[in-house]
Structure 1
Amino acid sequence: MRLATYNIEWFANLFDRKDRLIVDDSWSGRQNITKAQQVEAIAKVLTAVDADAMLIVEAPNTGKTQNSVRALQGFAEAFNLRTSHAVMGFANDTHQELALLYDPAVLTVRHDPKGTGSNDAPRFDGAFRIDLDIDATEDLVEFSKPPMELAVTTSDGASFRLIGAHLKSKAPHGASSRDEAIRISIANRRKQLAQAVWLSRRVRAHLEANEPVILLGDLNDGPGLDEFENLFGRSSVEILVQTGLFDPHAVSSHTDTPPSTARFARPADGGYLEALLDYIMICDDLRALNPRWRIWHPFHDPACLAAKELHDALLTASDHFPVTLDIDL
């Protein structure tokens, strides 16, 4: 079985108010890329990856007239993808939903949010109280993009819990000075770490109930990714790994050539910033099922580099690249 996570930048811009695809020469949200070019590139990437289930991070919007599931299923139908069904969790106000495209012949999937009555591990649409910086004052944390918690059963009868997440970005958006950028960055990292603690407690609750867990998505973090990590002692990824989850890319992020799942332009010098942000983490029990991870990076993955059409599509579709897990579920 192949599971995947893919952050598709500005996917929502490719649909009109009635969730119909916009395939024309108007500009998409991506610089110097038209909607038609991005739509075609996304379809090529999804076809090449050919996952049994793919978490779409920054999926199309759900609102007064729009519906993410309808938009994704329409996209799948337009390009004859076998992942013809979609499911989403709690809608949010950011126009960036979390949704899963999946093959109904392989998987049965339903949104199944869980939570305790206490503050230890509330549902993801609730609020979480935590004194993260040990100042004797509780912080009230909410998700702007609540994680999607799914109950999944394979066609062979195997069951597991799948949690899709998009954690708070640490970028100091809106800062007008260096001091303000530092303040916003620290506040964002504090909130992101609190979200990771919340996620880790939900994961632990499932593991204690002997329920296999797969956590995937854009965690917007990695060990050693920025200087503010030292203020709190660990990254969001490390918090989740310490819960009992594993992703080999998180372990290799301290090497001389760390892996990368995203590539952002740096207009100031014309270069690019590479970052490891996207993960598929599995519990210890699933590590015995021959898991194989892959980052579909257009430059670092030899097969993607050699296939020009796929290479170009990956660069056109998004600033993130798919991550896949092949596992004998």
Structure 2
Amino acid sequence: MRIACYNVEWFTALFDRRGRILEDDAESGRYGVTRGAQLGALGIVFTALDADCIVIVEAPDNNTRRKTVLMLEAFAATCGLRQRRAVIGFANDTQQEIAALYDPEVLRLWHDPCEGSATAPRFDRSLKIDLDVDDRLDTVRFSKPPLEVQLEALTGPAAGRRLRLIGVHLKSKAPHGANDPASEVRLAIENRRKQLAQCLWLRRRVDDVLDAGESLIVLGDFNDGPGLDEYEALFGRSGLEIVLGTGGPPARQLHDPHARLPRGKTTALPASARFFIPEPPPGRFLSAMLDYIALSPDLCAHAPKWRIWHPFDDPGCYQVADLREALLQASDHFPVSVDLAL
């Protein structure tokens, strides 16, 4: 079984107001890439990925005129993908939904949100937590509520096996809107507090799932990782480490090998995203590891094989010119996947 996640930059811009695919020479949401070119590139990437289930971060917007599920299924039909069924959880108002495409011949998938508790409420609700240690509870909400689904295998030796997937797009820590150094620091710390609160909320849900004895995969864009910024020392650990349960009992930890900093100064860091920074001219590219697939301990016993579909770091991607170029045109993130021998 192959499970993947993929942050598709401005997927929503590839559809018109009524949800019809826009395959033309107009500019897409990606700088310098037309809508037709991005659609073609996405078709190549999804076909090569060949996953049984793909959690899509920044899926097309769901509203009164357009439906994410219908748009994703139309995209799958246009590209001839076997992952031809889609599911969405709680819609949001950011134009970036969290959804999943899957192969209905191989899997059954359905939205299965937990009603939650006072300490870990359902993801479309709010959490009361003291963010700044002032003895006053702050209200935390997910701008993009995680997608919680049940997955059931329909074929092969794993037929009937169920897993719980939680797809996430956690808050960015970038100080957007800062106009001077002081406001940049203030916004960066404020956003990190909110991001950590979301991670604590998510970790409480992870504990509930582990307590219930369920197999769990938490995957998506965490906008975080060990050693990613200078504020991590201020708060003690990264939000990702909180979700994984790093430092806790092994039976309570989730695992992704890319979530640990490699030892040795000469070891290259993994990356799942590549952003163009235009200033100062001629600009430069910034790479970061933001996308993860974390497995519960029981799934780690099934010979998992993780892969970052990076056009330059993965030899299989680099050696296929069409795929290499498609990965660069399709999004500013690259897919990540895990193969499980269930």
Normalised by the shorter chain, which TM-score bucket? over 0.9
SS for the counterpart of 2:260 is helix
Q: Distance in 1 between matches of 2:137 and 2:37?
A: 47
The Cα of 1:175 is off from its aligned counterpart by 1.3
The Cα of 1:135 is off from its aligned counterpart by 2.6
Is the counterpart of residue 285 in structure 1 residue 285 in structure 2? Answer: no
Letter in 1 for 2:186: R
Count residues in correspondence.
328
Q: Distance in 1 between matches of 2:262 and 2:225?
A: 7
Contact 2:217 2:294 in 1 (8 A): yes
Matches within 5 A, 1:40-51: 40-51=40-51
SS for the counterpart of 2:325 is helix
Is the counterpart of residue 63 in structure 1 residue 63 in structure 2? Answer: yes
Q: Distance in 1 between matches of 2:88 and 2:341?
A: 25
Aligned match for 1:246, one of 247, 255, 260: 255
Change (3 A) 1:254 1:262: farther
The one-character-per-residue Cα deviations of 1:171-192 (angstroms, maximum 9, x if unpaired) are 1111111111111111111000
Is the counterpart of residue 323 in structure 1 residue 336 in structure 2? Answer: yes
The Cα of 1:133 is off from its aligned counterpart by 3.5
Q: Distance in 2 between matches of 1:282 and 1:265?
A: 31
Letter in 2 for 1:149: E
Bigger CA drift: 189-198 or 170-179? 170-179
The one-character-per-residue Cα deviations of 1:29-64 (angstroms, maximum 9, x if unpaired) are 111111011010011000000100000100001011
Alignment gaps of 5+ in structure 1: none
Aligned match for 1:165, one of 143, 163, 168: 168
Letter in 2 for 1:15: F
Aligned match for 1:199, one of 197, 202, 210: 202
Q: Distance in 2 between matches of 1:203 and 1:254?
A: 28
Bigger CA drift: 132-141 or 295-304? 132-141
Query: What is residue 223 of structure 2 aligned with on the other side?
Result: 220
Q: Distance in 2 between matches of 1:307 and 1:80?
A: 20
The one-character-per-residue Cα deviations of 1:125-179 (angstroms, maximum 9, x if unpaired) are 0101112343322221000000000011111000111000000001111111111
Q: Distance in 2 between matches of 1:253 and 1:63?
A: 43
Contact 2:227 2:261 in 1 (8 A): no
SS for the counterpart of 1:136 is coil
The Cα of 1:257 is off from its aligned counterpart by 1.2
SS for the counterpart of 1:171 is coil
The Cα of 1:253 is off from its aligned counterpart by 5.3
Q: CA RMSD in A?
A: 1.1
Q: Distance in 1 between matches of 2:3 and 2:98?
A: 15
SS for the counterpart of 1:284 is coil
Bigger CA drift: 174-183 or 207-216? 174-183
SS for the counterpart of 2:298 is helix
Q: Distance in 2 between matches of 1:22 and 1:181?
A: 38
SS for the counterpart of 2:204 is helix
Contact 1:223 1:254 in 2 (8 A): no
Query: What is residue 249 of structure 2 aligned with on the other side?
Result: none
Letter in 2 for 1:140: T
Alignment gaps of 5+ in structure 2: 246-251
Contact 1:83 1:102 in 2 (8 A): yes
Normalising by structure 1, what TM-score? 0.98
Q: Distance in 2 between matches of 1:108 and 1:150?
A: 10
Query: What is residue 177 of structure 2 aligned with on the other side?
Result: 174
The Cα of 1:252 is off from its aligned counterpart by 3.6
Contact 2:38 2:329 in 1 (8 A): yes
Letter in 1 for 2:274: R
Contact 2:15 2:21 in 1 (8 A): yes
Q: What is the percent sequence identity of the aligned residues?
A: 53
Query: What is residue 248 of structure 2 aligned with on the other side?
Result: none
SS for the counterpart of 1:5 is strand
Change (3 A) 1:36 1:254: farther
Change (3 A) 1:38 1:237: same
Q: Distance in 2 between matches of 1:101 and 1:192?
A: 27
The Cα of 1:98 is off from its aligned counterpart by 0.3
Query: What is residue 10 of structure 1 aligned with on the other side?
Result: 10
Letter in 2 for 1:176: N
Q: Distance in 1 between matches of 2:112 and 2:290?
A: 26
The Cα of 1:254 is off from its aligned counterpart by 6.1
